[in-house]
C-alpha cells in the first residue's frame, strides 16, 4: 500500500463530495444559462452553492466568483485590479506561488508595473516594518502576499496586513489557496480585497476554484465572454465542480476543529520522530513552528544532503509520495524558488511532507523509518 503525503499538491476527493456532484454529471446536465426547466434547476443549484460558500466565508454572494482554480483566480485578480485601479507599484514577496510570481513577472517585464519585493526574516516571514515602509513610499500600491506558503507552510497575519494596506490605501490580494478549507476565514475581520481558493486542496474536485472580490473594490472582468458569473467570468460554468467545491467547503467547516486537531497531531508526531531518528535534520522556513505554519505542511532537509531529487525518487520507490517543493515544479529540474530565496547560500535539498484527514499515524511512522533507512545508506543518495 502506498502512502500519500503530498496533500499540499492535491487531496483525495471526499466520497461525500462525489455523491453531491454525481447528479450534476448524469441527470441534471442542463446549461445554467438556459431559461427552460433543465437550465433553471442547475442555475438554482449553482446559486445555492454560492450562498453556502458566502455564508462560510462571511461575505455576500455577489462577492464570490467561481473560476477554474487557484491559478486563474490569482491571474484574474492581479491583472484586473492593476488595470482597474491603474496600479503602478506592486509589493509582493520572493516566495509567492508561481501563479502570482510569474503573473507579476510578466507584467513587470512588459513595463506595466514596478515590482517591489518585501524583505523576509530569517524564518521566511514577511518583515512587516519593511512592508510598512514600502507602502509609505508607494501610494495606491497593490500588495500581493500569500496567506500560507505552499512549500514551507509559513503563515501570514492576514488581519494585520489588511489593516496596513487599509492605512495606506493599497489594494490587498492574498493567495489563500492553501488555507481556504483548512482555517475559518472571516472576511469581515480580514479586510483583504481579493482572495483565491482551489477546491482540490480541501478534498473537492480539481479544475474548480473561486475568487472573492470585495464589493467596494470591484474589478473589471478577466475572462471575457458570456454573462456568466454576473459578467465577471465568461464561459459555461463547471457545474459539478462548483457543487463539489461548496460541498467540500461545507464538510471542511463542519469538521474543522476535529480536523485541525487530528492533522496537527500528525505533523507534531512527524517532527518528534524525525528529531529522534535523524539527528541534524533541518526544518525549512518556520515549518517546525506549529502556530506560525500550516498544520498540513512540513518541509525538511537532510543534513548535508544535496541530492533531494534522489531522495524523493528513493522515497517514491519505497512507496511514499512526497514532494520536493511546490507541486507544479516537482517534476522539473530547477530548484525551488522559495528555498533559493530563503537560503541563497545553501544547496540543501528539501522534502515537503503534507498531511490530510485520510493519513494515519502509522503513515508517519513508516515515512520516518524509510527516510532514516535511506539516509543511513549514502550510496543510494548518489
Ligand X SMILES: Cc1ncc(COP(=O)(O)O)c(C=O)c1O
Pick 138 or 196: Cβ nearer ligand X: 196
Q: Which stretch binds ligand X (CB under 6 A): 124-132, 246-254, 259-267, 323-331?
A: 323-331
Residue 273, C-alpha cell as written in the block? 520522530
Q: Which one, of 245, 224, 232, lies nearest residue 54 by Cα? A: 245
Tell me the DSSP string of 191-252: --SEEEEEGGGGTS-TT-EEEEE-GGG----SB-SSSHHHHTB-S---HHHHHHHHHHHHHH
Contact with ligand X (CB under 6 A) among 30, 69, 181, 194 = 69
Cell numbers 539516509 label which residue? 375
Q: Would residue 328 show up in a list of annotated catalytic residues for this protein?
A: yes
| Furthest C-alpha separation in the chain | 67
- Indicate whether 146 belongs to the interface with ligand X (CB under 6 A): yes
Specify the DSSP element, H or E, that contains 75: helix 70-84
- Indicate whether 175 belongs to the interface with ligand X (CB under 6 A): yes
Binding to ligand X by CB under 6 A, coded x per residue (else -) over 83-102, reads: --------------x-x---
- Indicate whether 153 belongs to the interface with ligand X (CB under 6 A): no
- Indicate whether 297 belongs to the interface with ligand X (CB under 6 A): no
Contact with ligand X (CB under 6 A) among 80, 178, 284, 299 = 178
Contact with ligand X (CB under 6 A) among 145, 156, 161, 198 = 198
Q: What number of chain residues touch ligand X (CB under 6 A)? A: 16
Pick 146 or 170: Cβ nearer ligand X: 146
Give the HSE-up count for residue 357: Cα atoms under 13 Å, Cβ half-sphere.
18
Q: Residue 53 class from Cβ within 10 Å (0-12 exposed, 13-18 middle, 19+ buried)?
A: buried
Q: Which of 44, 317, 328, 332 is catalytic?
A: 328
- Give the span between the Cα atoms of 189 and 195, in whole angstroms: 14
Q: Which stretch binds ligand X (CB under 6 A): 66-74, 77-85, 220-228, 302-310?
A: 66-74
Q: Which one, of 291, 310, 280, lies nearest residue 377 by Cα? A: 310
Pick 73 or 91: Cβ nearer ligand X: 73
Contact with ligand X (CB under 6 A) among 248, 327, 338, 367 = 327
Give the binding site for ligand X (CB under 6 A).
Answer: 69-71, 74, 97, 99, 146, 150, 175, 177-178, 198, 209, 326-328
Catalytic residue annotation: 328
Amino acid at each position: 500500500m502506498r502512502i500519500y503525503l503530498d496533500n499540499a499538491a492535491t487531496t483525495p476527493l471526499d466520497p461525500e463530495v462525489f455523491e453531491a456532484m454525481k447528479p450534476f454529471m448524469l441527470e441534471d446536465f442542463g446549461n445554467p444559462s438556459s431559461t427552460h426547466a433543465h437550465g433553471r434547476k442547475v442555475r438554482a443549484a449553482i446559486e445555492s452553492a454560492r450562498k453556502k460558500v458566502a455564508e462560510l466565508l462571511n461575505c455576500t454572494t455577489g462577492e464570490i466568483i467561481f473560476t477554474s482554480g487557484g491559478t486563474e483566480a490569482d491571474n484574474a485578480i492581479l491583472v484586473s485590479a492593476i488595470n482597474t485601479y491603474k496600479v503602478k507599484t506592486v509589493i509582493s514577496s520572493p516566495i509567492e506561488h508561481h501563479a502570482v510570481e510569474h503573473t507579476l513577472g510578466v507584467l513587470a517585464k512588459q513595463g506595466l508595473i514596478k515590482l517591489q519585493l518585501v524583505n523576509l526574516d530569517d524564518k521566511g516571514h514577511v518583515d512587516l516594518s519593511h512592508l510598512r515602509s514600502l507602502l509609505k513610499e508607494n501610494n495606491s500600491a497593490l500588495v500581493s502576499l500569500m496567506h500560507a506558503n505552499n512549500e514551507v507552510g509559513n503563515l501570514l497575519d492576514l488581519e494585520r496586513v489588511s489593516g496596513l494596506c487599509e492605512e495606506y490605501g493599497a489594494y490587498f490580494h492574498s493567495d489563500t489557496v492553501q488555507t481556504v478549507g483548512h482555517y475559518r476565514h472571516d472576511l469581515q475581520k480580514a479586510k483583504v480585497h481579493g482572495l483565491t481558493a482551489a477546491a482540490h486542496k480541501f478534498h473537492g474536485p480539481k479544475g474548480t476554484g473561486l475568487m472573492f472580490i470585495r464589493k467596494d473594490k470591484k474589478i473589471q472582468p478577466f475572462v471575457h465572454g458570456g454573462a456568466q458569473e454576473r459578467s465577471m467570468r465568461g464561459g459555461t460554468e463547471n457545474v459539478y465542480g462548483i457543487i463539489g467545491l461548496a460541498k467540500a467547503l461545507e464538510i471542511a467547516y463542519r469538521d474543522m476543529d476535529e480536523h485541525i486537531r487530528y492533522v496537527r497531531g500528525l505533523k507534531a508526531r512527524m517532527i518528534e520522530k524525525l528529531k529522534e531518528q535523524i539527528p541534524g535534520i533541518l526544518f525549512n522556513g518556520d515549518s517546525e513552528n506549529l502556530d506560525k505554519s500550516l498544520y498540513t505542511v512540513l518541509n525538511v532537509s537532510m543534513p548535508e544532503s544535496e541530492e533531494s531529487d534522489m531522495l524523493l525518487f528513493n522515497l517514491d520507490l519505497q512507496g511514499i509520495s512526497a514532494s520536493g517543493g511546490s507541486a507544479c515544479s516537482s517534476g522539473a529540474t530547477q530548484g525551488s524558488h522559495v528555498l533559493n530565496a530563503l537560503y541563497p547560500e545553501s544547496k540543501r535539498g528539501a522534502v515537503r511532507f503534507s498531511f490530510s484527514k485520510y493519513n494515519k499515524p502509522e503513515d508517519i511512522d513508516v515515512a520516518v523509518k524509510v527516510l532514516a533507512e535511506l539516509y543511513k545508506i549514502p550510496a543510494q543518495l548518489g
